[in-house]
Amino acid sequence: MTPLLDVQSLGKSYGGRIGCADVSLRLYPGEVLGIVGESGSGKSTLLNCLAGHLPPDTGRVIFDTRAEGPRDVLTMSEPERRMLGRTDWAFVHQNPRDGLRMRISAGGNVGERLMAVGARHYGEIRAQATDWLARVEIAEARIDDRPSAFSGGMQQRLQIARNLVTGPRLVFMDEPTGGLDVSVQARLLDLIRGLVRRMGLSAIVVTHDLAVVRLLADRLMVMKDGHVIETGLTDQVLDDPQAPYTQLLVSSVLQV
């Protein structure tokens, strides 16, 4: 099987400081990869390099495109990469304000993505937006409200709807449940899991929350100081961690 994403020896430095170094990974269709590590471990740098938000210094990011098969994203032209970002890729930011347009309505936020890929029929766009708001459990009556009138959990769900409406194949998520109440987190996790399974999505989820990756991720990558120090099946890494740092990380979690 061809991996959906094949990352080879990716590296990024900020001056003399390592952002991430020599990261290689393969993501197959339908797989969810969790990346964990403490603040400053390089996980967000890595995610931003993969998603094309930051130019890496070294390495290759090969994506299995729908039309032309595997292509190195880093050597694509800017318009090609933008098109990818609007169609096959989606990025869910930790702060919904970074992923939403706060001054247009909820329906507009979802519809805008559809229009960016060529949808023009107003009735159809609105119908799809309504459908997606329902899928992320936002009442139809709120379709014309601006996201600024939404709670944090609703904003995050709206951001997910906006990202998934175009049927992407790969979703990047940066701390998707960060900053939310635990009850809201559970609802969001359930929602993401359901969508991933029904749509057959692949996802890369960066988080520092081990409970989140246990429920969402098939595989886990542990990062420290910019380096990948352990990878494996999620439950194996959490239940039988091998590296000293992973053992420390797992044993530091407070039991509820």
Partner 1 sequence: MIPMIHVENLAKNFTLHNQGGASIPVIAGAGFSVAPGECVALTGESGAGKSTVMRILYGNYLAQGGSVRIGTIDITKAEPREILALRRETLGYVSQFLRVVPRVPTLEVVAEPLLALGRPEEEAFDRARDLLTRLRIPERLWTLSPTTFSGGEQQRVNIARGFAHAYPALLLDEPTASLDATNRETVLTLIEEAKAGGAAIVGIFHDLEARARVADREIDVAVFTPKLA
Binding interface with partner 1 (CB under 8 A): 28, 31, 186-187, 189-190, 193, 197, 214-215, 218-219, 232-233, 235-236, 239-240, 242-244, 247-248, 251
Tell me which residue has tokens 């247009």. 104
Angle between helices 152-164 and 182-199 (to 10 degrees): 10
Question: Cβ of residue 184: shortest distance to partner 1, in angstroms?
Answer: 11
Q: Which helix (H) or strand (E) holds 63?
A: strand 58-65
Among candidate residues 179, 176, 182, 177, the one with its CA nearest the CA of residue 256? 182
Of residues 206 and 249, the one with the C-beta less far from partner 1: 249
Question: Cβ of residue 247: shortest distance to partner 1, in angstroms?
Answer: 5
Of residues 133 and 221, the one with the C-beta less far from partner 1: 221
Of residues 134 and 248, the one with the C-beta less far from partner 1: 248
Of residues 121 and 197, the one with the C-beta less far from partner 1: 197
Question: Cβ of residue 190: shortest distance to partner 1, in angstroms?
Answer: 5
Question: Cα separation of 119 and 237, whole Å?
Answer: 44
Of residues 138 and 143, the one with the C-beta less far from partner 1: 138
Question: Cα separation of 14 and 57, whole Å?
Answer: 10
Question: Cα separation of 167 and 202, whole Å?
Answer: 11
Q: How many CA atoms lie within 13 A of 47 on its CB side?
A: 30
Question: Cβ of residue 189: shortest distance to partner 1, in angstroms?
Answer: 6
DSSP state of 85: H
Question: Cβ of residue 188: shortest distance to partner 1, in angstroms?
Answer: 10
